[in-house]
């Protein structure tokens, strides 16, 4: 499973209080990245384009946005 956003909604009361301001981002990042995962690995079957032809530096910056999710999990994993 690559999209945990449904669990975040269900269990938001169990998250550390400091994570609450980031809840929208915590939910949207995995959803957005899940949609892109297959194409980023295998390319676009319809157009025959390889992954490296489908994404720009801006796309990469947006994907790096997932760092916040990882940082929050690491910072508050034991909370």
Rounded distance, CA 61 to CA 64, Å? 5
Are residues 26 and 8 in contact, defined by beta-carbon separation less than 8 angstroms? yes
Rounded distance, CA 17 to CA 79, Å? 10
pLDDT of residue 79: 47
Is the pTM higher than 0.85? The answer reads no
Classify burial at 65, counting beta carbons within 10 Å of its beta carbon; exposed 0-12, middle 13-18, buried 19 or more: middle
DSSP state at residue 14: G
DSSP state at residue 15: S
Residue 1 pLDDT > 60: no
Question: What is the tens place of the pLDDT at every residue in 7-60?
Answer: 777 777 777 666 677 777 777 777 777 778 888 889 998 999 999 999 998 888
């Amino acid at each position: 499973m690559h999209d945990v956003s449904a669990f975040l909604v269900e269990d938001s009361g169990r998250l550390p209080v400091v994570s609450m301001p980031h809840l929208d981002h915590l939910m949207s990042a995995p959803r957005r990245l899940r949609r892109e995962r297959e194409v980023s690995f295998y390319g676009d079957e319809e157009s025959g384009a390889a992954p490296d032809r489908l994404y720009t530096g801006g796309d990469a910056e947006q994907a790096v946005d997932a760092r916040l999710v990882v940082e929050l999990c690491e910072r508050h994993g034991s909370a």
